[in-house]
Amino acid sequence: MALLRWLLLLWCVSGASLALAEDEDKDKPLHDPLDVAQHASVDLWGMHIATIRAQYRQYSPKERAKTAVERIRSIPIAKDYDLSVNLVQEKDYNGAWVMVNDNRVFGLLKQDAPEKITLEEYAEQAKANLSAWLQRRDAQQKPELLVKGAIYSAIASLCFGGIIFLLLRGRERLLLWLEKRNNPGSGSSRLQVGGIYLVPYLVSLLSSLARLLLMALVALFSYLWLAFVMRQFPYTVGFGQRLTDYIVDIIAKIGLAIVGSIPDIVMVLVIFWLASIVSDMVKNVFSRIERGRLRSSLFDPETAKATRRVIVVLVWLFSIIIAYPYIPGSDTEAFKGVSVFIGLIVSLGSAGIVSQVLGGLIVVYSRAFQPGEYVKVSDYEGTVTTVGVLSTKIKTIKNEEITIPNAVLLNASSTNYSRLAKPNGIIISTSVTIGYDTPWPQVHHLLLDAAQRTEGVREDPEPNVRQTALSDWYVEYRLLVHIDAPEIKVMVLSELHQHIQDVFAEADLQIMSPHFMAQPEKALVPAPWTAPTKAAAPENEK
């Protein structure tokens, strides 16, 4: 069944190629390219005899060609044929007759001859084509030639079947080998990039390429087999020759196109080679600036990476623009159509991307924050892990990764805790409210004592207390302390709040937050608390 499908496909392809070959006129150039549809070809058994281009009296070119075919077929079989060309100039007829044994077979007008060819030369070509057809027609009557063609066709068919069998077996063996390589137990499964196993994808790609290559080889050998078999019989030798000429013409055109495009390809390679050299130079210079090995008054290490990317992209875009006219096929309508389609897609989909890229560049060049810094953007707080082209990633203290589009950063306020942390660290604060009946020096002493007990609070600069408000019922005190890293501020504040509760409980003072309504009969101070000890195991369990 597979072979039948291939033969059916081959028949369709061969028919299409023969139709295209019949439409091609070998006698180009023509007088008037606009009248090509009115031309008629005199063809027999796949052989081209002549092309009729002019109308004579009421007879169109198609009617003249049909009459010529009928007369040629009616030529009786003879041992010898006397072919000649008789030039005729009459009142309304200026042309030539192709004669066979002194009988007029078909006539050619002066308008039938292509440009740069005289009527006599064109008639001689038609006579030679007609002589070759008569020889083939006579050869068709010889049984020994038919037997010889059948033997050669049988040998070619056996070779063709063997080649198809080897191709199918080779495809099966290749697919079996690829399936074994795709087995997770094989050593090839270790091939991975970024945690992604590449072997299944490579196997799928190679399998598709193997099937595509098999189809191309089967179609090619089938085409060659059919052309060879047709050329073994006089009746079909013309069709076989057309098939051969058609594929040879295609291969010649492709080969000449490849050879002709070699200078352009070399120019494209040279342009891209120069672009790679320039981009490598840019990467080298800005990498040194980024590492601090090279100082520049125009660029600093914070913006060197983004500047390097922008310049490299501009270099490659500029090289593509220069190399575009030299790309083979860039002047064709198909290439232009694809370019317009790609440009339309980019125009429709690049509005959001451009805003994201510009947002990322603004973040970088405004030096708002860099990877490794602790920041707060809108409601998100954490360490910046990546400042990308399209988005920025932040890792929170809850071990969550937040992705913020760069376009959002343009309209959001951000706080950088790490930028001014050196050398004195960052300042964190907390506040308490204490009643007016408690002396403020005692409150200051207790808050500073709580700060000294807290791990992570720096002794230099020293913690200090500010009285930020005198409310109706209490005084608001704010404790300011310095810590080394902003990443630990939540942990330090948590411990600081614990020690503030402890010192005020030890001093038998109550904190008046959140609101003071009335003086309680008993001070609201937590009782001393100790952690329960673990019960001892019974003797029988020891």
One domain for residues 7 and 134: yes
Task: Identify whether residues 228 and 243 lie together within a single domain.
Answer: no
Tokens matching residue 39: 């031309």
Q: Which segment of 184-188, 210-214, 452-456 scores lowest on mean pLDDT? A: 184-188
Report residue 492 as tokens.
Answer: 């330090």
Read off the pLDDT band of 11 (50, 70, 90): very low
Residue 300 vs residue 109, higher pLDDT? 109
Is it true that the peptide bond before 328 is cis, omega within 30 degrees of 0? no
Residue 533 is assigned to a structural domain of this protein: no
What is the rounded distance in angstroms from the CA atom of residue 387 to the CA atom of residue 409?
11
Which amino acid is present at 394? Answer: I
Q: What is the pLDDT of residue 131?
A: 86
Within this chain, do residues 6 and 131 fall inside the same structural domain, yes or no? Answer: yes
Q: Which one, of 132, 116, 152, lies nearest residue 48 by Cα? A: 132
Pairing of the two strands 380-387 and 391-396: antiparallel
Q: Is the pLDDT of residue 245 over 70?
A: yes
292 occurs within a structural domain: yes
State how far the Cα of 145 lies from the Cα of 538, in Å rounded to an integer: 114
Average pLDDT on 290-295 reads: 76
Specify if 192 maps to a domain: no
Q: What is the pLDDT of residue 118?
A: 87
Where helices occur in 391-515 by DSSP H, the ranges are: 406-409, 440-453, 489-506
CA distance 25 to 115: 13
Residue 193: predicted pLDDT: 54
- Checking if the pLDDT of 481 tops 90, the result is yes
In this structure, are 246 and 230 located in the same domain?
no
Mean pLDDT of 410-430: 80
Domain assignment present for 124: yes
The pair phi, psi for residue 482, each rounded to 5°, is: -110, 135
pLDDT tens by residue, 215-243: 888 888 888 888 888 777 766 777 777 78
Task: Specify the higher pLDDT residue, 205 or 455.
Answer: 455
User: Mean pLDDT across the stretch 434-461?
Assistant: 90
Angle at 470 between CA 469 and CA 474, to 5 degrees: 110
Dihedral sign from CA coordinates of 479, 483, 489, 491: negative
pLDDT of residue 499: 93
Domain membership flag for residue 493:
yes
Domain count, the chain: 5
- Domain match, 327 and 228 both: no
Confidence band (pLDDT; 50, 70, 90) for 34? very low
Residues 76 and 179 in one domain: no
The residue that leads in pLDDT, 266 or 333, is 266
Assess whether pLDDT exceeds 70 at residue 164. Answer: yes
Based on the domain organization, do 257 and 223 belong to the same domain?
no
* Position 24 confidence tier, pLDDT thresholds 50, 70, 90: very low
pLDDT computed for residue 528 by the predictor: 61
Whether the per-residue pLDDT at 447 is higher than 90: the answer is yes
Look over the chain and give the mean of its residue pLDDT values, rounded to a whole number. Answer: 78
Question: Using an 8 Å Cβ cutoff, are 483 and 489 in contact?
Answer: yes
Range of the domain at 174: 152-185+197-235
Pair 318, 447 in one domain: no
Query: What pLDDT does residue 7 have?
Result: 46
Mean local confidence (pLDDT), 470-489: 88
Residue 270 within any structural domain of the chain: yes
- 333 has a pLDDT exceeding 90: no
Residues 7 and 132 reside in one and the same domain: yes
Has this prediction a pTM greater than 0.85?
Answer: no
Same domain? 12 vs 133: yes
State the pLDDT confidence band at 32, using cuts at 50, 70 and 90: very low
Can you state the percent helix, strand and coil of the chain, rounding each to 5? 55, 15, 30
Residues 6+ apart with CB under 8 A from 534: none
Residues 27 and 127 in one domain: yes
Q: What is the pLDDT of residue 27?
A: 42
Domain membership of residue 278 (yes or no) is yes
In a domain, 336, yes or no: no
Q: Are 373 and 419 spatial neighbours (Cβ–Cβ below 8 Å)? A: yes
With a CB cutoff of 8 Å and minimum separation 6, the contacts of 134 are 75, 81, 100
489 pLDDT higher than 50:
yes
Q: Which residue has the higher pLDDT, 402 or 186?
A: 402
Distance (Å, rounded) from C-alpha 75 to C-alpha 86?
18
Q: What is the mean pLDDT of residues 329-354?
A: 73
CA gap 317, 390 in Å, rounded: 19
Give residue 185's pLDDT: 53
Same domain, 440 and 369: no
